[in-house]
Amino acid sequence: MGTPDFAVPTLQTLIQNGYNVPLVVTQPDRPKGRGRKRVAPPVKIKALELGLEVLQPSTLKDERFRHQIRQLQPDFFVVLAFGHILSENILQLPRLGTINIHASLLPKYRGPAPIQWAIIKGESQTGITTMLMDEGVDTGDILLSQKEPIYPEDTAATLHDRLALRGAELLAKTLHGYAADRIKPIPQDHRKATYAPLLKKQDGHIRWQKPADELVAFIRGMTPWPGAFTFHNKNRLKILKAAPIPENPTEAAGTILKTFPDELCVATTKGALSVIEIQGPSGKRLPIAEFLRGYPLPAGTLLK
């Protein structure tokens, strides 16, 4: 059970390791893009390439869905970024349990956006956890976990891709070890839990009243989606890459500082932010020097 790109390596690993996957359950096709053409989720596309049966229920409350699953007599459910909540009567269907792969070191960063929030919060490492699912949000007993460093240049996109591969590797170890009774579930310490809430488009709005190093982490965590952005007049400027500068500006936070013509430095409450790559009204990702040749931003301009 999975939907986005993040779940594709896990599906491939199951097949490569010889597991019998009688059914892939994913979200329905959704309208996408300007033409609103219906697009299949990545897991469906990969499953069909592998010759697997695919089911796309709009709800899991249908008794016909439960009956179809029950008929398969599954040993395991493997759940990864599925997008549906599994009720207790569904979780009880597999003989050995429902294994979930979560992109954090639980109990930290429970919830739908653990990769982005780990970067935004300035963590130096995160990881992957396999757990037995219960009815809570990422609250089940831990089976295995694996740490993964967060590098200074990581964005949510690069970390996403590494963790997708790590998750697939860890699942293979988990299934083998748990079925052989070599892995014992460990209850989470709920007192140490933190939450990684779903990000909305407006969450990418840059608040210049934060220190420059925090803003750099924010930009990395918001890239590629929802994207970190600011406004010049009514134009949305998406900042894709930036670096902190140890300046002590006296200007108000959000003010463009006087620098060389091919640089864009913005005052923050602590230090300044040097913009390296940006996307303006044209919609094209550009190095800052090239962007400023077509869209000058003079010193003293206030970004909001």
The enclosing domain of 272 has a CATH number of: 3.10.25.10
Are residues 21 and 89 both part of a single domain? Answer: yes
Instruction: Give pLDDT < 50 ranges for the chain.
Output: none
The answer to pTM > 0.85 is yes
Are residues 65 and 17 both part of a single domain? Answer: yes
* pLDDT value for 282: 86
Of residues 135, 116, 83, the one with CA closest to residue 196: 116
Task: Note whether residue 24 is domain-resident.
Answer: yes
Are residues 50 and 180 both part of a single domain? Answer: yes
Distance CA 94, CA 217 (A): 41
Are residues 163 and 213 both part of a single domain? Answer: no
Residue 208 belongs to what domain range? Answer: 201-294
Are residues 123 and 248 both part of a single domain? Answer: no
Instruction: Look at residues 163, 192, 221 and tell me which one is the last residue of a structural domain.
Output: 192
Is the alpha carbon torsion for 3, 44, 220, 204 positive or negative? negative
Are residues 62 and 178 both part of a single domain? Answer: yes
Are residues 146 and 219 both part of a single domain? Answer: no
Instruction: Look at residues 172, 192, 212 and tell me which one is the last residue of a structural domain.
Output: 192
Task: Note whether residue 50 is domain-resident.
Answer: yes
Distance CA 223, CA 154 (A): 10
* pLDDT value for 19: 95
* pLDDT value for 133: 97
* pLDDT value for 63: 87
Contact (CB, 8 A) for 221 and 116: yes
* pLDDT value for 32: 87
* pLDDT value for 120: 98
Q: How far are the Cα atoms of 11, 26, 93, 221, 275 from residue 70, in angstroms, in the given order? A: 21, 17, 6, 40, 55
Task: Note whether residue 170 is domain-resident.
Answer: yes
pLDDT tens readout for residues 218-259: 999 999 999 999 999 999 999 999 999 998 999 999 999 999
Task: Note whether residue 85 is domain-resident.
Answer: yes
Instruction: Look at residues 175, 192, 209 and tell me which one is the last residue of a structural domain.
Output: 192
Any idea what the Cα angle at residue 210 is, between residues 206 and 212, rounded to 5°? 90
Residue with tokens 């599925």: 82
Task: Note whether residue 29 is domain-resident.
Answer: yes
Beta strand segments in 11-141, E: 24-25, 30-32, 37-39, 54-55, 76-79, 97-102, 125-132
Looking at residue 192, the DSSP 8-state letter turns out to be G
**Number of other residues whose CB lies within 10 A of the CB of residue 31:** 9
Cis peptide before 249 (omega within 30 of 0): no
Distance CA 71, CA 66 (A): 9
Are residues 253 and 287 both part of a single domain? Answer: yes
Task: Note whether residue 300 is domain-resident.
Answer: no
Output the domain CATH number for residue 25.
Answer: 3.40.50.170
The helix, strand and coil proportions of the chain, stated in percent and rounded to the nearest 5, come to 30, 25, 45
Distance CA 96, CA 94 (A): 6
* pLDDT value for 123: 98
Are residues 163 and 22 both part of a single domain? Answer: yes
Looking at residue 257, the DSSP 8-state letter turns out to be P
Are residues 211 and 185 both part of a single domain? Answer: no
How many domains is the chain partitioned into structurally?
2
Task: Note whether residue 304 is domain-resident.
Answer: no
Are residues 225 and 99 both part of a single domain? Answer: no
Contact (CB, 8 A) for 27 and 95: no
Is the alpha carbon torsion for 286, 288, 293, 295 positive or negative? positive
Is 159 in a helix, a strand, or coil?
Answer: helix
Are residues 83 and 221 both part of a single domain? Answer: no
Task: Note whether residue 132 is domain-resident.
Answer: yes
